[in-house]
Structures are given as C-alpha cells and as structure tokens.
Amino acid sequence: MTINEEIAGRLEEAARLLQAEGSDPYRVYAYRRAAASVRRSVRSVDAVYREWGLRGLMELPGVGESIARAIRELLVHGHLPMLDRLRREADVVALLASVPGIGRRLAQRLHDELGLSTLADLEAAAHDGRLETLAGFGDKRLAGIRDSLAHRLGRVRVPPRGTTVEPTVTELLDVDREYRMKASAGQLRLIAPRRFNPKGEAWLPVLHTQRGPRTYTAMFSNTSHAHQAGKTHDWVVLYHDDGSGERQHTVITATRGPLIGQRVVVGRERECLAEHAPSAA
C-alpha cells in the first residue's frame, strides 16, 4: 500500500465517522474530496510535503488548509488525534462493521459474544484465536481483517512531536458559553454515549462550531470522575483542531478560590483569573 493510499484511507475513515457523529455535511464532503484527490495524485504526498511544505499540500485539488494540516499530522506524527477520538466515540457495531468482511449482524455478534468494543479489540481477537471460534472465519477472511486493521491502526510515520498555537482562554470560554446556551435551549443533537449509559439513552448534546481556523466539538464530560462528582452537566470537554492535530481542554465551574462560581479552563487558571478580573473584582 502506498503512502497516498494510507493517507486517503485515514481521511475517508474520518469522513465516515464525522458523518455518523452529525458533523457539518460540508466538512464531511471536504474530507471525502481530499481523500479522492490524494488517492489520484501521481506524486507521493510525502514528497510534496518535503519539497514544498504545507503550501504544496494545499496545491492538491480539493485540499484546503485545515485538511492539509491533517495530512501533515499524519506524515509527521503518524496518526491523527481527531480520528483516534472519533473511533473512541463511534457506535460500537457501526465501527466494527466498517472493517471489510464484517457486516452489522456479525459486528453485533462480535460485540455481544466476544465483548469487542474497539478496532484494537478486534485486532487482538484476530490474532489470538477468538475470531476463529465464530463460524465463517477462515484463513483468508482472517488475513484480510488483519491486513485492514494493520493499515488503519498502524502509524504512517514514527513521529517527532510538533508544536501548535493554543487557543486563548477567551476563545475557549466563548465556545463553552455557546455550547451550554444551546444545550440548555435544546438546540443540539443528542447522542447516546457508550460508557456509563446502560439504557442506551440519547442524553449527551454535541456542538460542532468554528472559531477562525479552528473547528470545535464540545460535549459534557462523560468520564467516571464526572459521574462520581455529579458534574456531567457542568464539566464541558472541548476538542479543537486547526489541522495540526486535535487537542482537548476541559471547562468547569470553580468551586473554591478567587474564581469560585466562574467558568475556568482546567490548567489555565491564571489566564482565567485575568479574563474574569472585572467580574471577579
């Protein structure tokens, strides 16, 4: 498999999972269009990037700056954090069924009978003999599944770490405000998270928005810590991506100290103190 095919495959998978998450249709289309362009390119995108940098990637038909940065992330770091996050949050059966050779009915069996919930679980089961316990998994089928997962889960490059420009706390708090306002007004799509949701209820509102070059996905925290603290409708997780890789911040209501009662970006309390200075005075 060429590097272009690997990159195109990651972009296509991102498009599928973004669509399932209810993202902006134009964003989904942009990833699909870019994947097709990379697949058709007669030059290796790695060679294009080494010679011309980000601008060279943006010269590919259908590749804008944000997706060019995503391609750079794959070339330099070997994986795409946004895609990793989408895989974690995807519907289990749909995620397993996305592997060639596994339809929804079989994916449901894999989840129910073998307890598989992630692509990494499926890859392990394909190698440790568990898949062979299910009817229909012959050597050829197993080889195809192993090969597909190796390409999807493997790194494109051994990554050195890069740098990215962090958003200001003003921007993060503004996205947090937009999310909580729209969630309270019932204006957001609700999803049914896999974790800590035994009844499969669609309760978690999801916001997709943008600030300048950054796309944001915002949702209430669904971690065990949030549940134990009773903060599943207070703590907000913000995923943001400017094309250089997805990053994450959490915004909470301070319960003590000089910012008590104010919204605070965890880890950036000093900046929040300056941001809230007029109202905290």
- The residue from 127, 153, 179 where one domain ends is 153
> Which CATH number fits the domain that encloses residue 131?
1.10.150.20
**Interatomic CA distance for residues 167 and 209, integer angstroms:** 14
Q: Which of 165, 162, 166 is nearest to 72 (CA)?
A: 162
CATH classification of the domain holding 26: 1.10.150.110
Q: Are residues 114 and 75 in the same domain?
A: no
Residues 76 and 98 in one domain: no
Of 60, 80, 100, the last residue of a domain is: 80
pLDDT in tens, 13-36: 899 888 877 888 999 999 999 999
- The model's pLDDT over 27-69, given as tens digits with 9 standing for 90+, comes to 999 999 999 999 998 888 988 888 888 888 999 999 999 899 9
CA distances from 25 to 17, 204, 207 (A): 12, 20, 14
- Distance of alpha carbon 20 from alpha carbon 9, whole angstroms: 17
Which has more confidence, 33 or 131?
33
Q: Mark whether 14 and 44 lie in a shared domain.
A: yes
CA angle 206, 207, 208 (to 5 degrees): 125
- In the predicted model, is pLDDT for residue 161 greater than 90? no
In a domain, 163, yes or no: no
Domain stops at, among 46, 80, 114: 80
Domain that holds residue 146: 91-153
Q: For 246-277, what is each residue's pLDDT tens digit?
A: 678 899 998 888 888 999 998 888 889 888 87
Are the C-beta atoms of 1 and 150 separated by less than 8 Å? no
Q: b/e for 129-162, b at 16 or more Cβ within 10 A? A: ebbeeeeebeeebbeebeebbeebeeebeeeeee
Domains in the chain: how many in total? 3
pLDDT digits (tens, 9 = 90+) for 4-15: 888 998 999 899
What pLDDT score was predicted for residue 280? 43
The token duo for 218 is 């915002």
How far apart (Å, rounded) are the C-alpha atoms in residues 262 and 268? 13
State how far the Cα of 111 lies from the Cα of 66, in Å rounded to an integer: 35
